[in-house]
Amino acid sequence: MTDPETGGGAAPAAHARRGRDVLTHQALVYRTGEELTKVAVGWLRAGLMVGDATVVIASPAVADLVRGQLGAESAAPIEFHDSAAWFTGPVQTMSAYHERAREHWWPHGRLRVLAEPVWEGRGELEVREWLRHEALLNEIMAGTPSAFLCLYDAALPAGIVEGALRTHPELLDEGGLRPSPRFTDPADFYAECNAVPLDPPPLTAARRAFASGELPALRTFLEAEARRLDLAPERVLPFVLAVNEVATLIIREGGGHGAVWVWSEEGDLVCDVTDPSGHLADRFLGHLPPRAHQQVEAAMWAVRRLCHIVEIRTGKGSGGGIGFRGVDAGTRIRTRLKLR
């Protein structure tokens, strides 16, 4: 959160002690429950000893393991969160980290989070976006007094474990701490995620073109479609706000006109907003707090927070053109909100 004039989401300087305000982001890829508890609990103990704000975000099973190993007294200062409730959406979770850290955790000193990401029930898109979330954490939390240890079961699908190795700069296990040899620069990882082509909208998607001066009618259309496709009533306004922002961006900063496609798919309300000619550079766009007078950043920051997942595909060098026709021009922004 930043002031609109000054911009920049600075770390809380008052709490950043010299040498300690450096983010660490480590993965523990465990093979057995014993390894998990031994390493994770040891890591938590170290934090408790120096008085770090210590947080465990895990499934009830792992939380119980940790509690059992530490004992009630030692575990008392730890703030526990259920992982299913915490990892609601990649952007929402990042905002929750930031908000909670700023208000409750950093004021107590260094933050230490043991996190067990949720993978069960996640489809291909969700897995990609949650791994992107892991890569982004390196950028977004950089310079903050925070330490994250993320738990990965070695038995998870290979793509997820590989993602862990590529998004965490360091690995911690029984053998100790070492740099992750496969760690990938977050910007490169992010670009890889963006290179995955989008499926075209279904033929049944409702389409509407827009240009300057036509947004009132576009909003009416979006609202009607959202209601027709049974979007939860309290999400209609966020949906309309988000798509209106994207359309505004295209009118002002992009090619000047575009079209939207709206449909529902696997419990999501999906809306593609396309710009036939404009290029939208997406390097963490809307993930980092908007800088002053950067209206594109401010708009996409808001859009990401209004939606569950936002995917941007743009031409010129990102590999996919607008995603699925091999056309190397234009931009497609796909917003998703959970219907319920």
Partner 1 sequence: MTSAADGRPHGPATSRGGAKPVSEVTFGDHLCLTFDNDPERYAILGAYIRDGLALHHKIIYLADEDDAGAVLRRLGDGIAGAWVPGTERLDLDAAVAEGRLAIRPIVDAFMATGRFDPDETVALLATEIEVALVQGYAGVRISGETSFSLRGWPGTDRFADFEQRCQAAFQTPGLKAMALCQYDSRWFSRAQLEELELCHGGRVRVDDLYDDGVLRITPLFTPPGLALDGAVDESTVQAVGDALERMAARASHFCLDLSGLEFCDMEGLRTLIGAGRSGGVHRQVILRGVPDYLDLMLRISGWDSMPDIYREGVRR
Per CB under 8 A, residues contacting partner 1 are 1-5, 9, 212-213, 215-216, 219, 237-238, 240-241, 244-245, 247-248, 251-252, 289-290, 295, 298-299, 301-302, 305-306
C-alpha–C-alpha distance, residues 61 and 69, integer Å? 12
Residue closer to partner 1 by CB (options 67, 305) is 305
Q: CB of 309: closest distance to partner 1 in angstroms?
A: 15
What is the total residue count of the chain? Answer: 340
Residue closer to partner 1 by CB (options 213, 326) is 213
Concatenating the DSSP letter of every residue in 103-114 gives: IIIGGGSSEEEE
Residue closer to partner 1 by CB (options 40, 306) is 306
Token pair in block for residue 37: 């508890």
C-alpha–C-alpha distance, residues 17 and 272, integer Å? 45
Residue closer to partner 1 by CB (options 171, 333) is 333
Q: CB of 285: closest distance to partner 1 in angstroms?
A: 13
What φ, ψ does residue 176 adopt, rounded to 5°? 110, -165
Q: CB of 289: closest distance to partner 1 in angstroms?
A: 5
Q: CB of 295: closest distance to partner 1 in angstroms?
A: 7
Residue closer to partner 1 by CB (options 44, 251) is 251
Residue closer to partner 1 by CB (options 240, 312) is 240
Q: CB of 303: closest distance to partner 1 in angstroms?
A: 9
Residue at 249: amino acid letter: L
Q: CB of 269: closest distance to partner 1 in angstroms?
A: 18
For 175, counting Cβ atoms within 10 Å of its Cβ (0-12 exposed, 13-18 middle, 19+ buried), the class is: exposed
Half-sphere exposure of residue 191: CA atoms within 13 angstroms, side-chain side: 12
| 8 A C-beta contact, residue 249 and residue 309 | no
3-state secondary structure string across 29-46: EECCHHHHHHHHHHHHHH
